[in-house]
């Protein structure tokens, strides 16, 4: 029954939690999870323009630890209210999550645990609930003057569910944005996987150290973003080779 309720509200949430697919505004650029091709196209076009106009470009790819399992439920519920979801819908979701329990049987004795973190997985609404919490974080970050100018406005990140890339002109900007994002995520139970976070820059970005919490953020020559390998030369050969290798390995 709960899954039926989740699925019935899934389409309804699209009109409240998300912005329009191609909506560009002063403080952020949102890409819907269903628009993966558009996200990849936006990123490759940005790389192409940076090469054409000899513009420095620094891309920081963020990896979050166990995103759907660790986000605090109260943060999700609060985010829905901030984004205009009707009170009756929020109340129903709260009732469902208040009864969310997990059972374990150590030494053959059943123990029931009240779950206060994570969004229930398996329903079509779960990624949208998580996206609402992440959207709430981004709205409160003061990034309006950061990023790359696009049609007179600042484009400072792309986001497709939990696949996030920061777009900056320098390492210093990227370091500041990553630190602010990490701090905001920590307040709702999310943590960055610093071992998987990578920075990808073109040759016009001044050299500088990139650290967060004393750990160096590694530089990568390319990165697989939403299933597509991207690089600063916009070469397709590495991606085709990667796909060919994977196909051969699956035979």
Number of domains in the chain: 1
| Strand bridging mode 58-62 / 198-201 | antiparallel
Quote the CA–CA distance of 68 and 136 in Å, as a whole number. 16
Compute CA 47 distance to the chain's CA centroid, rounded to the nearest angstrom: 20
Q: What is the pLDDT of residue 22?
A: 36
Q: Calculate Rg over the CA atoms of the chain.
A: 20
Helices and strands of the chain, counted as H and E runs: 8, 13
Domain that holds residue 103: 2-250
- Asked if 177 contacts 50 with a C-beta cutoff of 8 angstroms, the reply is no
pTM for the model:
0.80
Residue 46 CA neighbour count, 13 Å, CB half: 29
Is the separation of the CB atoms in 143 and 156 below 8 Å?
A: yes
To the nearest 5 percent, what fractions of the chain are helix, strand and coil? 40, 20, 35
CA 168 – CA 245 distance, rounded (Å): 32
pLDDT in tens, 167-212: 999 999 999 999 999 999 999 999 999 999 999 999 999 999 999 9
Under-70 pLDDT residues of the chain: 1-35, 116-118, 120-124, 248-251
Sort 108 into a burial class: Cβ within 10 Å, 0-12 / 13-18 / 19+: exposed
Report d(CA 247, CA 251) in Å as an integer.
7
List, in sequence order, every residue forming a beta bridge with 86; answer none if it has no partner. Answer: none
CB atoms within 10 A of CB 205: 21
Distance CA(114)–CA(123), nearest Å, equals: 20
């Amino acid at each position: 029954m709960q899954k039926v309720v989740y699925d019935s509200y899934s389409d309804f949430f699209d009109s409240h939690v998300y912005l329009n697919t191609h909506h560009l505004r002063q403080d952020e650029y949102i890409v819907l999870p269903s628009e993966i091709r558009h996200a990849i196209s936006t990123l490759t076009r940005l790389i192409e323009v940076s090469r054409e106009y000899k513009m420095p470009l620094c891309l920081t790819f963020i990896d979050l630890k166990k995103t759907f399992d660790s986000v605090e439920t109260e943060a999700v519920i609060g985010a829905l209210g901030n984004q205009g979801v009707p009170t009756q819908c929020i109340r129903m979701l709260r009732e469902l999550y208040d009864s969310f329990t997990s059972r374990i049987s150590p030494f053959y004795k059943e123990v029931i645990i009240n779950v206060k973190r994570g969004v229930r997985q398996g329903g079509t609404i779960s990624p949208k609930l998580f996206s609402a919490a992440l959207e709430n974080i981004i709205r409160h970050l003061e990034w309006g003057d950061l990023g790359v100018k696009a049609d007179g406005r600042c484009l400072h990140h792309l986001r497709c569910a939990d696949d996030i890339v920061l777009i900056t002109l320098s390492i210093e900007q990227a370091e500041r944005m990553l630190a602010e994002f990490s701090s905001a995520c920590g307040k709702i139970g999310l943590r960055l996987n610093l071992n998987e976070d990578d920075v990808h820059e073109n040759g016009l970005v001044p050299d500088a150290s990139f650290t967060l919490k004393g750990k160096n953020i590694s530089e990568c020559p390319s990165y697989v973003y939403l299933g597509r390998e991207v690089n600063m030369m916009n070469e397709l050969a590495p991606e085709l080779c990667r796909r060919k290798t994977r196909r051969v390995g699956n035979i």
